[in-house]
């Protein structure tokens, strides 16, 4: 069974069939940069980054477009509060977005179009809608006539009354229908404005995404992503104006919506003022912990943000990484012993057989983890199942490391490679953005101290050996003496 995706258009999981064989085209609704990027935003972009990584891993060419709404009422309001320009506000917070996404390991889209750099493209789409009778002009404003599009409501499946309530429309006697929405807004004093056939003004929110998606992807592209709060009115309106303009259906083949990140009973949002900026969270937690936190939940399941949730993610992620680090050290130790010829004698036949058996078990565990990972991701990008597969493999590795006997380095290496490979699709096990160059030196120094402690213990110099152990513990390094040697791990 191949990839199946929940499509909001059909309210079912469907087999994924790309528009172009071997290629996947994605449009993501981007940010409106008027404040710092928060964890609710991060959920979307980390998720789609994971999707893109997985699709490429499965052999697809992936092309992604993500817009930047750099002109908007909220940007203008923030600029007026500060006594600066909307362009300066948008640039500041867009730079924050780029910075924190880079630190989270979110790869940038292939095209990052800003609305202010595509005004003429937007105007052309609006002109086409007017010419075809889907839109009308009143006093410099242009509205889309929803009654001219019979399928209006097919995405949200709302009744007219529900749509009225959801859109929170303002009463405007100039509209033919209360549900009609703005494609072009006539300029107001002091606001950014561009010349158009209807006079100076700026685009409405919905038309921006349609124009940019059509410009870079055309009709019928594969995935349209965004939060489920955008189903109506934003994505509903995108469908109506796009399909009216092109005369083609569908605008997008699969609408994929993630659930909100909540704080208490309310969604995290800038407008509610209950958001946690990613830049602040990154001061407490490294990027891998944040990505683990998001991956541990299916994207369509609501998630609650709290310090307890992040702490649980940190502990679980540290367990994974400690196992991976210990396995890497065991492999490195085996390599050094083999290269230097320090192995005192060949293992007995029964020991070699036992090591080989455990190596076979690890190879089998790696294959099973890969299979479970694929099954999870192919089932509507279920990262929680995929992450559980990585944990299953880590448990097998940990059991082998603490078995008290030799482990085949070949089997252990296959398990480590698989952990790194699958974890990498989820964006885990990356070096820290800051201090990465020092991590190798730190590990080397710990290894040296562990070796010296071992020599002291062999000489029965217990006091000095204990001093090293206690000193490392104060630094957050815990030692564990096993039958096959001393292993160490980090603890916060």
pLDDT at residue 255 in the model = 98
Confirm if 279 and 104 have CB atoms less than 8 A apart.
Answer: no
pTM to 2 decimal places = 0.85
- Once rounded to an integer, what is the mean pLDDT over residues 103-125? 98
**26 pairs with which residues across the strands?**
64, 223
- Once rounded to an integer, what is the mean pLDDT over residues 385-402? 96
- Tell me the three state secondary structure of residue 20: strand
Confirm if 237 and 265 have CB atoms less than 8 A apart.
Answer: no
Q: Which helix (H) or strand (E) holds 320?
A: helix 307-340
**Residue from 338, 323, 65 nearest 211 by CA:** 65
Instruction: Using the predicted structure, report yes or no on whether residue 339 has a pLDDT greater than 80.
Output: no
For every residue of 321-374, DSSP letters joined together read: HHHHHHHHHHHHHHHHHHHHT---SPPPHHHHHHHHHHHHHHHHHHHHHHHHHH
Lowest mean pLDDT among 105-119, 312-326, 474-488: 474-488
Lowest mean pLDDT among 14-23, 42-51, 160-169, 328-337: 160-169
CA angle 6, 11, 13 (to 5 degrees): 35
State whether the Cα torsion 413-414-417-420 is positive or negative.
Answer: negative
- Once rounded to an integer, what is the mean pLDDT over residues 103-112? 97
**137 pairs with which residues across the strands?**
142
pLDDT at residue 349 in the model = 47
Q: Which has the higher per-residue pLDDT, 27 or 450? A: 27
Q: Which has the higher per-residue pLDDT, 488 or 75? A: 75
Structural domains of the chain, with CATH: 4-283 (3.40.50.620), 310-432 (no CATH), 435-492 (no CATH)
- Percent pLDDT > 90 in the chain is 74
pLDDT at residue 491 in the model = 64
The overall average pLDDT reported for the chain is 90
pLDDT at residue 360 in the model = 87
- Percent pLDDT > 70 in the chain is 90
Instruction: Using the predicted structure, report yes or no on whether residue 341 has a pLDDT greater than 60.
Output: no
Residue with tokens 């940990």: 398
Q: Highest-confidence range of 336-340, 392-396, 440-444, 447-451, by mean pLDDT?
A: 392-396
pLDDT at residue 332 in the model = 87
Instruction: Using the predicted structure, report yes or no on whether residue 225 has a pLDDT greater than 70.
Output: yes
- Once rounded to an integer, what is the mean pLDDT over residues 67-90? 96
- Once rounded to an integer, what is the mean pLDDT over residues 242-249? 97
Instruction: Using the predicted structure, report yes or no on whether residue 418 has a pLDDT greater than 60.
Output: yes
Number of C-beta neighbours around residue 55 at 10 A: 23
pLDDT at residue 433 in the model = 40
pLDDT at residue 484 in the model = 58
Q: Is the peptide bond before 233 cis (omega within 30 degrees of 0)?
A: yes
pLDDT at residue 344 in the model = 34
pLDDT at residue 161 in the model = 73
Instruction: Using the predicted structure, report yes or no on whether residue 350 has a pLDDT greater than 60.
Output: no
Instruction: Using the predicted structure, report yes or no on whether residue 258 has a pLDDT greater than 60.
Output: yes
- pLDDT single digits (tens) 264-285: 777 777 667 778 899 999 999 9
Alpha carbon distance 354, 22 (integer Å): 44
pLDDT at residue 182 in the model = 97
Instruction: Using the predicted structure, report yes or no on whether residue 347 has a pLDDT greater than 60.
Output: no
Instruction: Using the predicted structure, report yes or no on whether residue 342 has a pLDDT greater than 90.
Output: no
What is the pLDDT confidence band of residue 403, given thresholds at 50, 70 and 90? confident
Alpha carbon distance 268, 302 (integer Å): 11
Phi and psi torsions of 246, nearest 5°: -85, -25
pLDDT at residue 447 in the model = 77
- Once rounded to an integer, what is the mean pLDDT over residues 78-103? 97
Instruction: Using the predicted structure, report yes or no on whether residue 409 has a pLDDT greater than 50.
Output: yes
Q: Highest-confidence range of 66-80, 433-447, 451-465, by mean pLDDT?
A: 66-80
Q: Which has the higher per-residue pLDDT, 144 or 444? A: 144
- pLDDT single digits (tens) 226-240: 999 999 999 999 999
């Amino acid at each position: 069974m191949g990839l199946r995706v929940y499509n909001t258009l059909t309210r079912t999981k469907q087999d994924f069939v790309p528009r172009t064989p071997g290629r996947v085209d994605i449009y993501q609704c981007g940010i409106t940069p008027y404040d710092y990027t928060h964890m609710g935003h991060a959920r979307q972009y980390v998720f789609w980054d994971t999707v893109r990584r997985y699709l490429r891993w499965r052999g697809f060419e992936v092309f992604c477009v993500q817009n930047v709404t750099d002109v908007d009422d909220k940007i203008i309001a923030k600029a007026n509060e500060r006594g600066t320009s909307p362009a300066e506000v948008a640039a500041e917070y867009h730079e924050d977005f780029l910075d924190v996404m880079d630190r989270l390991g979110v790869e940038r889209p292939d095209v990052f179009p800003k609305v202010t750099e595509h005004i003429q493209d937007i105007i052309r789409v609006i002109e086409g809608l007017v010419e075809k009778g889907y839109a009308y002009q009143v006093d410099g404003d242009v509205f889309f006539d929803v009654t001219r599009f019979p399928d209006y409501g097919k995405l949200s499946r709302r009744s007219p009354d529900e749509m009225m309530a959801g859109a929170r429309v303002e009463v405007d006697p100039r509209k033919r229908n209360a549900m009609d929405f703005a494609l072009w807004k006539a300029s107001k004093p002091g606001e950014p404005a561009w010349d158009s056939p209807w006079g100076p003004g700026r685009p409405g929110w919905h038309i921006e995404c349609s124009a940019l998606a059509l410009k870079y992807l055309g009709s019928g592209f594969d995935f349209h992503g965004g939060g489920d709060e955008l189903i109506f009115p934003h994505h509903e309106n995108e469908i109506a104006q796009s399909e009216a303009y092109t005369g083609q259906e569908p605008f997008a083949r699969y609408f994929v919506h993630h659930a909100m990140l909540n704080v208490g009973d309310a969604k995290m949002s800038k407008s509610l003022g209950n958001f946690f900026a990613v830049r602040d969270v990154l001061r407490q937690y490294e990027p891998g912990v944040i990505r683990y936190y998001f991956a541990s939940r299916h994207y369509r399941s609501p998630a609650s943000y709290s310090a307890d949730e992040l702490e649980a993610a940190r502990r679980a992620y540290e367990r994974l990484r400690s196992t991976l680090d210990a396995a890497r050290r065991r492999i490195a130790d085996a390599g050094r012993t083999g290269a230097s010829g320090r192995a005192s004698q060949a293992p007995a036949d029964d020991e070699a057989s036992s090591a080989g058996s455990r190596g076979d078990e690890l190879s089998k565990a790696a294959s099973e983890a890969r299979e479970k990972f694929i099954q999870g991701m192919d089932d509507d990008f279920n990262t929680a199942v995929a992450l559980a597969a990585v944990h299953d493999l880590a448990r097998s590795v940990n059991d082998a490391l603490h078995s008290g006997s030799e482990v085949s380095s070949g089997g252990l290496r296959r398990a480590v490679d698989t952990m790194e490979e699958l974890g990498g699709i989820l964006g885990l096990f990356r070096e820290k953005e800051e201090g990465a160059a020092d991590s190798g030196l730190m590990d080397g120094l710990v290894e040296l101290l562990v070796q010296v402690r071992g020599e002291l213990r062999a000489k029965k110099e217990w006091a000095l050996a204990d001093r090293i152990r206690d000193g490392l513990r104060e630094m957050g390094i815990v030692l564990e003496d096993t039958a096959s040697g001393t292993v160490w791990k980090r603890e916060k």
